[in-house]
Amino acid sequence: MIARTILLLLALIAALPLAAQNDLYNNGPIVGDINAWDITTFIVSDTFTLTSSTNSVNGLSFGAWLNPGDILQSAEVSITSNPEGGTTYFAQTVAITQTGCFMNHSGYELCQETGTFNSVELGAGTYWINLTNARVGNGDEVYWDENDGQGCTSPGCPSQAFQSINGTIPSESFTIFGTVGGGSTPEPGSLLLFGSGVAGVVAWLRRSKARSN
């Protein structure tokens, strides 16, 4: 009985961050064989639409074209009211985690790039996500995968898109992460308090079993 209870409580702990995290906007998956846009030197901007009155945006993922063996380390990410400008709601160099790479017909590696950051609170509306200064260790160029909104699932998709040299362009593959209603992923301190409660429950169960024997 005690062992089953402990396993259940541990499963609840593991599920807490996952339950708090949502796809707030999805512009579709990596396609990998249409085109891609340089985010090493230039700024590429795509719109995303939020329908809830209160949203906490805290991450994104996007498709990148890289030279074989390159690992994207970071990129400058900003959220603005206009492409490359207007009101700035968030601007930061974000560390990137790279997964799921595969080779495309042009000899590039296509990878899923994911970054998280401190939550920015946004209301309902349409915003621009801007990527630039993408960095790999050897200075190679990095390109944002164009998917033309194929497979997008969110209101407002496919996104509008803009590049700092060419102007209007087709839209790219990306997802915006966060929570609806101003919620946030539990902080480490909250998890510690939860864990302390779990330990207390386990101790109580043990004492109860000892008294019943």
User: HEC string of 49-88?
Assistant: EECCCCEEEEEEEEEEEECCCCCEEEEEEEEEEECCEEEE
Q: Which of 179, 177, 159, 178 is nearest to 169 (CA)?
A: 159
Q: Which of 174, 153, 149 is nearest to 60 (CA)?
A: 174
Residues 156 and 202 both lie in one domain: no
Which residue has better confidence, 98 or 199?
98
Report the C-alpha gap between 86 and 80 in whole angstroms.
6
Residues 125 and 203 both lie in one domain: no
pLDDT at residue 181, as a whole number: 84
Which residue has better confidence, 53 or 6?
53
CATH label of the domain that carries residue 116 = 2.60.120
Q: Residue 203: is its pLDDT beyond 80? A: no
pLDDT at residue 194, as a whole number: 43
At a CB cut-off of 8 Å and minimum separation 6, what does 133 contact?
39, 40, 74, 75, 76, 93
Residues 82 and 97 both lie in one domain: yes
pLDDT at residue 85, as a whole number: 87
The predicted model gives 62-89 an average pLDDT of 96
Residues 104 and 205 both lie in one domain: no
Residues 28 and 125 both lie in one domain: yes
**Model confidence over 22-35: pLDDT tens digits?**
999 999 999 999 99
pLDDT at residue 21, as a whole number: 61
Q: Which of 98, 168, 162, 100 is nearest to 131 (CA)?
A: 162
**Model confidence over 76-120: pLDDT tens digits?**
999 999 998 899 999 999 999 999 999 999 999 999 999 999 999
For the chain, give the number of residues. 213
Residues 140 and 192 both lie in one domain: no
Residues 132 and 211 both lie in one domain: no
Classify residue 110 by burial, with Cβ atoms within 10 Å: 0-12, 13-18, 19+: buried
Residues 16 and 121 both lie in one domain: no
Residues 8 and 84 both lie in one domain: no
Residues 177 and 207 both lie in one domain: no
Report the C-alpha gap between 200 and 205 in whole angstroms.
9
Domain count, the chain: 2
Q: How many CB atoms lie within 10 A of CB 156?
A: 16
**Model confidence over 158-190: pLDDT tens digits?**
999 999 899 999 999 999 999 998 544 444 444
Q: Residue 55: is its pLDDT beyond 60? A: yes
Axis crossing angle, helix 188-212 with helix 2-20, rounded to the nearest 10: 160
Q: Residue 20: is its pLDDT beyond 60? A: no
* Alpha carbon 198 to chain centroid, angstroms: 30
Residues 158 and 210 both lie in one domain: no
Report the C-alpha gap between 30 and 114 in whole angstroms.
13
Q: Residue 4: is its pLDDT beyond 60? A: no
Residues 76 and 127 both lie in one domain: yes
Give the structural domain span for 179: 22-183
